Structure 1
Amino acid sequence: MLATVLAGISLFGCGIQAGALFMFHMGVLPTYKKVDIPTWMRIHVSMDRSIERFMPFLNLTTGVATLALLFMSDSAESVVLRIAGLCCNIALALLSELVNVPINKKVKKAYEAVAAPVGAAGGVSVAMDDSELAGHRAYWARANSWRTTVICVGFALYVIAAFV
């Protein structure tokens, strides 16, 4: 019974992450790439505030449930598949924390500098030009594509593990 609940948590958490990142990749990212830099910054900062509240929690919950399942699995195949899926969750966390989060912070600082009233303290030191921000946007988009790929693969592995 506990293994079934943990498998459900693992599938649910990873499924939400994979679905959210896939939808973002297919639906939002093309728009991100087309809009001007100030518009992109405003949308990016606004969305990041919402997303950063639940994605790390989902990834951690999925990882913990999967880790516990490794000690309860019925077959060697499901253990191997879950280990591979867990590696995908770890890859998602690493890509997020090492690439996307630092860029998100830079974009937020630049956005706040642009949005700050004239003469506000600290605004000038963090301002970036559009070409630098465009470079950050392109790098962020590439990393996000990799994040989407690894978590979708992880979800597929978890689904297969549930049926072997």
Structure 2
Amino acid sequence: MSVDEVLGTAVLLGSGVTAGVLFAVALSVLPALFAMPTGTYVYAHKLLGRNWDPTMPAVVLCSTGLALALAVVAEGAGARVLFAVAAVLLLGVSAVSHLANVPINRRVKAVADPEALPPDWEDPRPLWRRWHLLRTGLALFALALNAVGVAAL
């Protein structure tokens, strides 16, 4: 197996997990969270985020690095461009996560008692969903470009 094939398999695995997780959250988790009363949502949000936070940034950034590596070592200008654009898109996923979704997550996690929300509490679900759908779209597009790039190897 060549270096390109190993990197290609790894970038598909990483970008596939990224896109799959974000798609699953958009498809199923978000509608469930929107159906909950606010206090229950805050409690559920805290539980759901416990294992995503340490894992997903590593998966996204490793996938970005793999796409960048392929942009450098892949034969053929077309494949290199596809991997470079996919890396930029995955970097966008990371940027949206860290600059938009994570601050919202911190605000929700800071609520001491989900049943006694402060009077100035603003429900973050609509804003969180908009940012999440953006990063989901970026991740799906990155996966598609990585797949076309791997097929071109």
TM range (shorter): over 0.9
1:147 aligns with 2:130: no
Question: Percent same amino acid among aligned pairs?
Answer: 29
Where does residue 68 of structure 2 map in the other structure? 67
SS at structure 1 position matched to 2:113: helix
1:89 aligns with 2:80: no
Q: What is the number of residues matched between the two proteins?
A: 151
Where does residue 159 of structure 1 map in the other structure? 147
SS at structure 2 position matched to 1:54: helix
Where does residue 121 of structure 1 map in the other structure? none
2:71–2:82 contact (8 Å) kept in structure 1: no
Q: What amino acid is the match of 2:21?
A: A
| Offset, 1:129 | 3.7
C-alpha separation in 2, matches of 1:39 and 1:5: 44
TM-score by length of 2: 0.92
1:37–1:130 contact (8 Å) kept in structure 2: no
**Structure 1 segments unaligned to the other structure (5+ residues):** 116-123
| Offset, 1:137 | 1.5
2:7–2:66 contact (8 Å) kept in structure 1: yes
Change in Cα spacing, 1:3 to 1:40, as seen in structure 2 (3 Å) is: same
Greater Cα radius of gyration, structure 1 or 2:
1
| Offset, 1:80 | 1.0
Where does residue 128 of structure 1 map in the other structure? 118
C-alpha separation in 2, matches of 1:9 and 1:142: 29
| Offset, 1:38 | 0.7
Where does residue 13 of structure 1 map in the other structure? 14
C-alpha separation in 1, matches of 2:108 and 2:81: 39
Listed one character per residue, the Cα deviations across residues 47-96 of structure 1 (whole Å, up to 9, x for unaligned) are 11111121011011111111111221111111111111111101101100
